Amino acid sequence: MANTKSSLKRIRSSERKRERNRIYRSRTRTELKQARTAISSGNLEEAIAQTRQAIQILDKAVNKGILHKNNAARRKSRLAQHLNELQAQKQK
C-alpha cells in the first residue's frame, strides 16, 4: 500500500482515469460491432450511417488518448474496406 500523500493521490486519480478510459473503450467496441453488423446485414444506408458513427467515435478516442492514432487508422481502414466491398456488390 502507498505511504505518501502524493502516491495516495496518484492511486485515486489513476483509478478515475482508468474508469473513464474503460467506458470510452467499451463504447468504441460497441460502435465498431454495430458497424460490422450493419455491413454484414447488407443494408447499404444503415451500413454507411453506422460506419460514419464508428469513425467519429474512433477519432474522439484518439483525441482523448485512449487509442493510438495508428490503431484507429487501421480500424477505420478495415471498416471502409468492408463498406466498399458492400457498395461494389450492390452496384452489380
Tell me the per-residue pLDDT of 56-92, one tens digit each, with 9 for 90 and over.
999 999 999 999 999 999 999 999 999 999 999 988 7
CATH homologous superfamily of 5-91: Ribosomal protein S20 (1.20.58.110)
- Where are the domains positioned within the chain? 5-91
Tell me the per-residue pLDDT of 33-45, one tens digit each, with 9 for 90 and over.
999 999 999 999 9
C-alpha dist (Å) from residue 2 to 11, 12, 51, 72: 8, 11, 45, 35
Say what the pLDDT of residue 8 is: 93
* Start-to-end Cα distance in the chain: 64
